[in-house]
């Protein structure tokens, strides 16, 4: 059984030389555990704003996701897996660095302030350790294709500085609001794409709304997919990490028409078209358009699975699929969510409370599937609570890659969960310190979850307590009935977080009191 990281310090988890055998001293070599056998390829696919119930395998009844359903049928489906943050950049920071939001360098979306056509988000530091760096040092070829969000070109946060041999896509997540941008980035250099780009934000208060008015020559998701498949083919004979942070179904609503036409006309008949009133782009058939975006994402997954089959790599590849956070939240116009999404129509979060931007279950709990042929049981399900910090130690364990001495992680190795060998021990509750949307905190330990709202305001709310297994809708606050459990979670949070100069929390670091 793979090693499980344990906590010996109440403030931080120190992950030291406990993974399966070392290759860092000889990046081109194999460890003792992998000598003579092929190390698995690693494919990590991440959707953008895909809700927990927006996949057929998770109960979706309207949107077609045959490839993800196939992946679930052939692998392990998680029912309580959580993102690292309820919005883009901090979720990606937690995933890449294995540090939860109480320790992460990035705790909310924030622009870099560096200017230029692709300014990008506030960069992670040069010292930040990513799982891609560890795997690269262990001899894996590494490629990332899609949306980065952790620093502009040539900054300390650029993917080329954090373990990726090749990056192609959007360095700036705000530029990913347009699916027809002027260019994408190939590593640190812009790669021209459209002579007549379409902005991601336009309003059309009147007149006929035509989707063709908001299209251009080259569709960025298809180019990202093409480059990713090329990388896969070029490195089929050596171990690789293929990181695919696809941009769908994050709005603007920009789906190919062929996918829109697969969904019923009557979904949108008798309804006003979306005119961009809640931001992003107009669309004449927003229900069909949103379903089309998810189905097109599903088609990307199918293309990757097909390529693995064609190259004879499927049995040697661990495929992981997840989402960076929950589905799009409501806007000021009650007829539509942001960008025209109709989450109620699709029951995108089912019974879960909240949306993207919330630390409620609907913002944090994400569809997650792992297929590891010969190791994960086909069609299996786990309710073991896990979250994004766990992927760093898990991916390294799968690869037999050793962490640098002194590397600090907040996650645990999920390999026993993947193989059905048992549930690893988590020595500390899972933690979120989210600085967006008025500031929100969450602490989770097994079935118990404590939540606090408004922590970046001058009137922070009280801690609330929920039993997630019995009450996934988070409808009954049990704080008054179980004060001892609430205090245990609050104490754990306060002991296992650190101040951040960029993302300050006066409630704990500035003398406001708790």
Write the pLDDT tens digit of every residue in 152-163: 999 999 999 999
pLDDT tens across 314-363, in order?
Answer: 999 999 999 999 999 998 888 889 999 999 999 999 999 999 999 999 99
What pairs with residue 240 in β-bridges?
Answer: 141
Of 330, 336, 335, which Cα lies nearest the Cα of 357? 330
pLDDT at 20: 33
pLDDT at 29: 39
Q: Which tokens is 439 given?
A: 């500031």
Handedness of CA 121, 126, 127, 130 (dihedral sign): positive
* Cβ 190 vs Cβ 184: under 8 Å: yes
Domains defined along the chain, listed by start: 41-421 (3.40.720.10), 431-509 (3.30.1120.10)
**What is the rounded CA–CA span in Å between residue 114 and residue 84?**
26
Which of 18-32, 104-118, 348-362, 496-510 shows the lowest per-residue confidence on average (mean pLDDT)?
A: 18-32
* Cβ 375 vs Cβ 497: under 8 Å: no
- What is the 8-class DSSP label of residue 123? P
**What is the pLDDT of the chain when averaged over all its residues?**
92
Chain CA centroid to CA 389, Å: 11
118 pLDDT tier (thresholds 50, 70, 90): low
What pairs with residue 369 in β-bridges?
Answer: 77, 321
pLDDT at 513: 46
Of 301, 287, 348, 252, which Cα lies nearest the Cα of 71? 301
Average pLDDT estimate for 483-505: 97
State the Cα angle at 370 between 369 and 372, rounded to 5°: 155
The structure tokens 């991440």 sit at 46
Find the Cα–Cα–Cα–Cα dihedral 245, 55, 419, 399, rounded to 10°: -10
pLDDT tens across 230-252, in order?
Answer: 999 999 999 999 999 999 999 99
**What is the rounded CA–CA span in Å between residue 52 and residue 162?**
30
pLDDT at 125: 97
pLDDT at 155: 95
pLDDT tens across 396-438, in order?
Answer: 999 999 988 889 999 999 999 999 999 999 999 999 999 999 9
Q: Tell me the three state secondary structure of residue 317.
A: strand
**What is the rounded CA–CA span in Å between residue 489 and residue 486?**
5
pLDDT tens across 447-481, in order?
Answer: 999 999 999 999 999 999 999 999 999 999 999 99
Report whether pLDDT(512) > 80.
no
pLDDT at 25: 36
Give percent of the chain above pLDDT 90.
88
């Amino acid at each position: 059984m793979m090693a499980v990281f344990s906590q010996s310090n109440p403030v931080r988890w120190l992950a030291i030389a406990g993974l399966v055998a070392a290759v860092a001293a000889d990046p081109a070599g194999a460890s003792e555990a992998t000598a003579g056998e092929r190390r698995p390829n690693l494919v990590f696919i991440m959707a953008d704003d895909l809700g927990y119930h927006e996949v057929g395998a998770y109960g979706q009844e309207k949107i077609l996701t045959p490839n993800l359903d196939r992946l679930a049928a052939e692998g392990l489906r998680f029912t309580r897996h959580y993102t690292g943050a309820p919005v883009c950049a901090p979720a990606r920071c937690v995933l890449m660095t294995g540090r939860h939001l109480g320790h992460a360098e990035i705790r909310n979306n924030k622009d870099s302030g560096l200017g230029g056509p692709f300014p990008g988000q506030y960069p992670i530091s040069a010292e930040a350790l990513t799982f891609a760096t560890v795997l690269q040092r262990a001899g894996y070829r590494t490629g990332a294709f899609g949306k980065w969000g952790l620093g502009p070109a040539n900054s300390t946060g650029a993917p080329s500085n954090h373990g990726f041999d090749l990056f192609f896509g959007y360095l700036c997540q705000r530029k990913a609001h347009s699916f027809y941008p002027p260019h994408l980035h190939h590593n640190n250099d812009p790669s021209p794409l459209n002579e007549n780009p379409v902005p991601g934000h336009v309003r059309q208060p009147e007149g006929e709304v035509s989707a063709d008015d908001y299209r251009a020559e080259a569709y960025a998701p298809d180019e990202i997919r093409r480059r990713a498949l090329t990388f896969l083919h070029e490195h089929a004979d050596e171990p690789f990490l293929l990181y695919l942070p696809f941009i769908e179904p994050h709005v603007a609503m920009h789906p190919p028409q062929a996918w829109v036409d697969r969904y019923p006309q009557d979904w949108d008949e008798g309804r006003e078209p979306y005119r961009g009133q809640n931001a992003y782009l107009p669309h004449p058939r927003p229900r069909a358009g949103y379903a089309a975006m998810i189905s097109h994402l599903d088609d990307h997954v199918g293309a990757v699975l097909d390529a693995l089959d064609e190259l004879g790599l499927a049995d040697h590849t661990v495929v992981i699929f997840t989402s960076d956070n929950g589905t799009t939240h409501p806007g000021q116009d009650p007829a539509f969510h942001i960008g025209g999404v109709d989450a109620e129509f699709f029951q995108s979060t089912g019974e879960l409370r909240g949306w993207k931007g919330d630390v409620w279950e609907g913002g944090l709990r994400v569809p997650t599937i792992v297929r590891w042929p010969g190791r994960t049981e086909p069609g299996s399900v786990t309710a073991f609570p896990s979250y994004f910090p766990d992927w760093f130690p898990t991916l390294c364990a799968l690869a037999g890659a050793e962490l640098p001495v002194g590397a600090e992680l907040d996650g645990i190795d999920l390999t026993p969960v993947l193989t059905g060998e048992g549930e690893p021990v988590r020595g500390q509750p899972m933690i979120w310190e989210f600085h967006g949307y008025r500031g929100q905190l969450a602490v989770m330990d097994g079935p118990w979850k404590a939540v606090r709202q408004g922590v970046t305001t001058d009137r922070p709310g009280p801690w609330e307590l929920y039993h997630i297994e019995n009450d996934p809708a988070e409808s009954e606050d049990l704080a008054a009935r179980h004060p001892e459990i609430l205090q245990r979670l609050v104490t754990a949070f306060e002991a296992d977080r650190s101040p951040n100069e960029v993302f300050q929390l006066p409630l704990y670091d500035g003398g406001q009191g708790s």
